[in-house]
Chains A and B, each alone.
Chain A
């Protein structure tokens, strides 16, 4: 028995040790992940974010360095916290709170502790950083906008959230990512790929050299510079004209589908979404649920298109052979159908052919055309599907599948859609509002501008896009290959004649610009809002669609001005001026410019929220802007002209 005591103890000791090893290394053991090894300092090297230039090569967005204090909670060591707080200019409570939040996110991954230090703070802190174990400074590029325009186009970058990190393993807490506009849609192009350096630490948190001589280090891949199709001057001009109004303007070059200007009003200065103030300002913009400055009206604003949609009905009518350009339709100052009546601005008994029909925007003419399309084969159900198919070939009623971050489908109804409303019988008169672009038809400004392109090109369009060049890479085929509509080329000419007549003698004759053959179409759209759960009519939207010049068009444009009353009152002026600006470079119609700067619709927008009864359309007084505001806008205009010339 005696000789077994030590023998047993040896065996027992061996088993205990192996058990302990099992506990330490397998049960509690960590994976051999270099990223989670706290003996290795990971230094991320963020590449330059790609610059953004406009179509003429003007720099719109550049970079500025920013320094974030990052923390890895489980590595936080013993040091003088008060000194650290003083350097960071935060209180002890804030320190504790931030540290707790970071620990809750992850004790072993880095979280931003104090983002975006000022240069002075950074200089002071950098010297002493080694003392504060667990904390380090991360340099990363922040945006610097060279302009105050195009917030809706350019977008902004912000810190990634937990969802972004889960979805894409590339991102880590504190990384910046495109949130809106081209920053979001070209995120991967602009951001590049960050590099990493692994540095061996010693127990005093000192760097003692690259880990494995830098074998695992990666070099950052620089973000690519991009050139966008926007013309900064035209964009700035459009934004200026749309001051104190709400709505969207989209200008496209028909021969390429390049978006020349994309104005969403109201807008904001993109610079306010940079730096430490970002979240405060973003919240402010986000919470403005009345003006909705973050809502990109040129892409997301879904409106009934109104009269410009008559062009579509004319084209479908010609294609389907239910009307000829010369056939005349009598207007009875309106159109009588069933026992109802659709009013028209024409005098009673006027006989319109296609040109004058478009020129005068005759409701009776297009109601007749629309009904003939639907009733062509005596079956309105079949007719509306044909009609819908033609309209959709113009890119209406669906996403354009472009490179913009937001968008809306709009709506081009077909029989399937109406099945829900009219399950049994269906006649052309049921949907006669579609004839004049009201009723169930809905479009966004960009879709309408695209339709203008298709008309200007006489039958095809290029998917509207915003990217012009990524360091010489070829653009995707969807932007370079034309898409053909289902309307044959010959049928466009009569319609274009009509649009030309709109400027020559019709609803936009006061907007004519010397030496430019503009083709356009006005639109006035009734609209309603729910006020205290009552459907209340508001002042009509002012809509305009145009392209110019008539031959070899250079620009197609759609303008929506909310509650601007009639088409040529606001939208037409904006469209004419922007066309002139784009084609001629300077403005001869200074009177139109002056008028737009002087007039505001803010009162109009305030009405539904006032809680009091109000008048609309003809019974309203147009608001003139205050003098200081006017001079401010005037100064902006002069600056703009100065940079152009």
Chain B
């Protein structure tokens, strides 16, 4: 194999090329979304596109640095990296800078850094390290709990900083744990909880309870697994509690703007006037981004030709809503290409992860895929109105140094680990 004979080809170039394509295409769209006027100074560092160019240049340095380190370094130092990362999150409460209601940034000189972006990579390393430990058995409740704690610490810390979007991303580790042997019951419970919650919100708690009871009865008579009466009653009580709990949570715990997001998503609001008002207020971004994507048609309006992009119709278009620029200017062809590139990248990472001989590398690779997948699914789903608005960036695409570097670190550590699998033994 080429990888064995030529040291330059021991890295997985398919992944690297997919990464570079996404970064490059992302830059073009940031340029389109943030330029104003016809004379563009590409290196104007007061503009997002200028800064992004610098971030990209620095990224190459970062890549070389990551690939230059010994592969064993990441496994050995994973605990320290994790602890350092958690400390950086805690430090935000003391030194953090508040932007848009979230205290997630350190201001260093003229730059801002968002430690929560890096925390994902750190957590991935820590989870990989813990699960790959010979003493860990994921089927044991004790080990399960310890793993959950590793994951829940950063999740809670970012939640306390009002960064709900990043918290949701930690759900990605569920897929990792499931792959590594987490009992099926968790998946069943997870799916049921999500299903019941949505049902409860959409059709009300009572209807949901009745439906759940009927489903259980049917399952009792025709299902393969026979549950005892007590188990059944327990399940009914739990689903009832969940239904009402979700209702309560929705009405009393969630803030009005979060309620509205969910009610729009589940089409709970029937009053057309209220709907119109929603479209003008909080759902404005969504509405505008959908319109921008629609206006692109099959082949798009062309690079830098998007009238809605030029007119800055979609707020924050160069960050979370960058995909709407793709939709408007590159049309169906360009947007579908981006989706395909992401899918290819994810499949490639998953494929490589399965090839790993060490469990650490495999778990880490899985974490990388799962985290990128969460971002990809939530961001594009949100921009196209498929899921409720959750503000997280599109990996490699959205404007922002922290995000770009964090994903670079996340991905290239895996590429380094992967390159090392041949001479591991």
Contact = CB atoms under 8 A, between A and B. Distances in A.
Interface of A: 2-3, 5-7, 9-11, 13-14, 16-18, 20-22, 24-26, 28-32, 37, 39-40, 77-78, 200-203, 208-209, 211, 213
B376 interface: yes
Nearest to A36: B295
Most chain B CB within 10 A, of A11, A18, A20, is at A20
Interface string B288-306: 1010011111100100000
Contact of A16 (B296, B311, B342, B386): B386
A7 B345 CA distance: 11
Contacts of B133: none
A6 B373 contact: yes
Contact of A17 (B179, B295, B384): B384
B386 A10 contact: no
Contacts of B293: 21, 24-25
Interface stretch (B56-64, B145-153, B249-257, B329-337): B329-337
B369 A6 contact: yes
Contacts of B342: 14
Nearest to B347: A10
B280 interface: yes
A207 to B, nearest CB: 10
Given A25-B296, A200-B311, A6 B332 contact: no
Contacts of B181: 2
A39 B311 contact: yes
Nearest to A205: B311
Contacts of A78: 277, 280
A7 B347 contact: yes
Interface of B is mostly: helix
B238 interface: no
A3 to B, nearest CB: 6
A6 B175 contact: yes
19 contacts: A3-B350, A6-B373, A7-B350, A13-B373, A16-B386, A17-B381, A18-B340, A21-B336, A24-B290, A29-B296, A29-B297, A32-B297, A39-B307, A39-B311, A200-B310, A201-B311, A202-B311, A208-B311, A209-B37
Nearest to B37: A209
B370 interface: yes
A202 B314 CA distance: 9
A26 B332 contact: yes
A10 B381 contact: no
A39 B314 CA distance: 11
Interface of B: 37-38, 175, 178-179, 181, 187, 277, 280, 288, 290, 293-298, 301, 307-308, 310-315, 327, 331-332, 335-336, 339-340, 342-343, 346-347, 350, 354, 366, 369-370, 373, 376-377, 380-381, 384, 386
B295 A30 contact: yes
Contacts of B314: 203
A7 B366 CA distance: 10
B373 A20 contact: no
Contacts of A25: 293-294, 296-298, 327, 331-332, 335
Contact of B179 (A5, A18, A32, A211): A5
A25 B332 CA distance: 6
Contact of A10 (B280, B298, B313, B343): B343
B363 to A, nearest CB: 12
Nearest to B295: A30
Nearest to A31: B297
Given A10-B347, A25-B335, A5 B175 contact: yes
B332 A203 contact: no
A1 to B, nearest CB: 10
Contacts of B277: 78
Given A18-B336, A30-B295, A32-B301, 17 more contacts: A5-B175, A6-B373, A7-B347, A10-B343, A17-B381, A20-B384, A21-B335, A21-B384, A22-B332, A25-B331, A26-B297, A29-B332, A30-B294, A30-B297, A39-B313, A203-B288, A213-B38
Contacts of A3: 179, 350, 354
A2 B312 CA distance: 45
Nearest to B304: A212
A216 to B, nearest CB: 12
Contact of A9 (B294, B312, B373, B380): B373
B343 A200 contact: no
Contacts of A30: 294-295, 297
A24 B307 contact: no
B295 A29 contact: yes
B178 A17 contact: no
> Which 7 A-B pairs rank lowest in CB-CB distance, beginning with the nearest?
A14-B343, A39-B307, A29-B297, A25-B332, A39-B311, A203-B313, A10-B346
Contacts of B327: 21, 24-25
Contacts of A213: 38
A2 B384 contact: no
A39 B339 CA distance: 27
Contacts of A40: 307
A213 B343 CA distance: 39
Given A6-B373, A200-B310, A203-B288, A17 B380 contact: yes
Nearest to A29: B297
A20 B294 CA distance: 10
A200 B295 CA distance: 15
A5 B178 contact: yes
A31 B343 CA distance: 29
A104 B376 CA distance: 42
A607 B315 CA distance: 77
Contacts of B187: 5
Contacts of A203: 288, 311-315
B332 A21 contact: yes
A30 B328 CA distance: 11
A287 to B, nearest CB: 43
B308 to A, nearest CB: 5
Contacts of A201: 311
A201 B311 CA distance: 5
A372 to B, nearest CB: 80
Contacts of A18: 336, 339-340
Most chain B CB within 10 A, of A2, A28, A40, A213, is at A2
Most chain B CB within 10 A, of A5, A26, A29, is at A29
Contacts of B288: 203
Most chain A CB within 10 A, of B179, B294, B384, is at B294
Contacts of B336: 18, 21
Contacts of A7: 347, 350
Most chain B CB within 10 A, of A17, A30, A31, A78, is at A17
Contacts of A17: 339, 380-381, 384, 386
B179 A6 contact: yes
A242 B314 CA distance: 68
Nearest to B281: A78
Contacts of B312: 202-203
A14 B373 CA distance: 10
A580 B369 CA distance: 103
B175 to A, nearest CB: 5
B236 to A, nearest CB: 28
Contacts of A16: 386
Nearest to B307: A39
B339 A21 contact: yes
Contact of A6 (B38, B295, B350): B350
A209 B314 CA distance: 18
Contacts of A6: 175, 179, 350, 366, 369-370, 373
Given A3-B354, A39-B307, A26 B290 contact: no
A535 to B, nearest CB: 65
Contacts of B347: 7, 10-11
Contacts of A24: 290, 293-294, 327, 384
B316 to A, nearest CB: 12
A10 B342 CA distance: 9
Contacts of B308: 39
Most chain B CB within 10 A, of A31, A203, A211, A213, is at A203
Nearest to B340: A14
